[in-house]
Amino acid sequence: MVLAVAVLYGTGAYLLLQRNLSRIVIGLALLGHGANLLLLMAGGRAGDAPLVGENGGPFADPLPQALALTAIVITFGVSAFLLALAYRSWTLARSDEVEDDIEDRRIAAMIAARRAGSEFDDDTGAATGEEPPQ
């Protein structure tokens, strides 16, 4: 369980750092799964179903299960919305890449303009402010 949580968190964080929107969405979903598993683990060891009238034991702690259930529903809804948003972004821009920050582009444009003023033979690739495709 611990290993599964660690792997989910690690993969999720890695995917989140990518530039493709679809990878970011999947990364967030993985992070959400990791968090839900962690909630479940917070309840301690597995046990019998904690029903009224059941004898025996040890019982499993029901509260984290309820919490995880709520969290799963929320993750599900938000993931659906995120996918819709990513799809909308793709239909509008025909691109899955995350664009650069406005300030970054402004700074890049400023630097490019300054370079173009002093060194005419300079490579103007910086003007677009985009990284080369990987």
37, 25, 29, 32: which is closest to 88 by C-alpha? 25
115, 17, 26, 6: which is closest to 75 by C-alpha? 26
The site that binds other proteins (CB under 8 A) totals a number of residues, namely 34
50-58, 91-99, 114-122, 123-131 -> range binding other proteins (CB under 8 A):
91-99
Which residue has tokens 């677009």? 128
Q: Which of residues 92-131 bind other proteins (CB under 8 A)?
A: 92-93, 98-99, 101-102
Residue among 1, 7, 46, 78 that touches other proteins (CB under 8 A): 78
Q: Does 64 bind other proteins (CB under 8 A)?
A: yes
13, 28, 11, 40: which is closest to 76 by C-alpha? 28
Least separation, in Å, of the C-beta of 36 and other proteins?
A: 8
